[in-house]
A = this chain, B = another copy of it.
Amino acid sequence: MNESADRAYGGARVLVAGGMGFVGSTLAERLVALGAEVRIVDSLYPEGGGAAANVAALRERVRIEEADLRDGPRVAPLVAGCRYVFNLAGRSSHMGSVADPAGDLGANAVAALALLELCRAHAPDAAIVYAGTRQVYGAPDRVPVDESHPLRPPDPNAVAKMAGEAYHLLYHRIHGMRALSLRLTNVYGPRMRVKDGRQSFLGLWIRRVIEGDPIELWGGAQRRDLTYVDDVADAFLRAAASPETAGRALNVGGAPAVSLADLAQMLVAANGGGRIAVAEFPPDRRAIDIGDYETDDRLFRRLTGWTPRVSLADGLARTLEFFRARRAEYF
């Protein structure tokens, strides 16, 4: 964070929707450290990333409400008076969205729209940052992918995220609100969901490598860029504090792209050992896979001064260290 962005949060009332989740709780912790008055709302959707363990250290210093964003009477008082609203309350599972597209649409678009409407009524001057996804681009025509790339959502999750995001851009345009979306790529780090592959394949890999089980690699040639969660939290803070981000959907990248095969090797190296099993790509996953992806986030960096600080090797090491120490809570 630069100093001016840091200063933006001291004493400011801030709502983190999905604040018991992976990115949300990391962001909430940063906000508390910056002196913000933090409110968290989380539905604790069982297949999502929300967990009591994520906010155990924050309990005394934030207000936490368990509620769905569509529950206006419960959420309106939390929104009132907020200077910043971060919406990390959505679902991110691609396969989960195929199995339950209506639930996915509800969580990512209906709920996001409900929150926007509550902000319009109760915090019209707040900056609102939506957790979007690079998944909206689908299989890219070219890499790196910048924001002018056509949107071709390859799974229901991406359709719902595309809609949720579009409302933010629209509310800036027609209602003058300071709303924007960050199109995140694969985020990893402490507190990510490792029980299964719902949030990211990497979560499952991390648990398996710690437990001494083989990592299952489908194909492996696909390239991905990953962002360490602290860098993502920093991106949200800068996005909301910048005067030039409103009304935009902005890519946020991270470390240089690597193939999944190389990523698996790096993880095994960071763990000091482990096995990799190459497997067939399951057909239901192949149907929604996007192939190689690499983000072009130069616009976001230029507008906010953001740059990722944590290398992939370092981030993997920190993540393994976290989960090794907290297996009882997270595995």
Q: Which of B102, B162, B163 contacts A105 (CB 8 A)?
A: B163
A163 to B113, Cβ gap below 8 A?
no
Q: In the assembly, what is the distance between CA of A42 and CA of B156, in Å? A: 26
B163 to A288, Cβ gap below 8 A?
no
List, in ascending order, chain B residues with CB within 8 A of A98's CB.
Answer: 174
B174 to A155, Cβ gap below 8 A?
yes
Q: Looking at the complex, which of A32-40, A165-173, A210-218 is the stretch in contact with chain B?
A: A165-173
A10 in the interface (beta carbon within 8 A): no
Question: CB-CB contacts of A148-185 with B at 8 A, as 1s and 0s?
Answer: 10110111100110110011001001100000000000
A174 to B288, Cβ gap below 8 A?
yes
B159 to A160, Cβ gap below 8 A?
no
Q: Which of B102, B148, B173, B287 contacts A174 (CB 8 A)?
A: B287
A159 to B154, Cβ gap below 8 A?
no
Q: In the assembly, what is the distance between CA of A162 and CA of B160, in Å? A: 10
A274 in the interface (beta carbon within 8 A): no
List, in ascending order, chain B residues with CB within 8 A of A174's CB.
Answer: 98, 154-155, 287-288
Q: Which of B117, B150, B155 contacts A150 (CB 8 A)?
A: B150
Q: In the assembly, what is the distance between CA of A98 and CA of B110, in Å? A: 15
A170 to B153, Cβ gap below 8 A?
yes
Q: Which of A85-119 contact B (CB under 8 A)?
A: 98, 101-102, 105-106, 109-110, 113-114, 117
A170 to B150, Cβ gap below 8 A?
no
Question: CB-CB contacts of A116-131 with B at 8 A, as 1s and 0s?
Answer: 0100000000000000
Q: Which of B106, B148, B167 contacts A159 (CB 8 A)?
A: B167
List, in ascending order, chain B residues with CB within 8 A of A106's CB.
Answer: 110
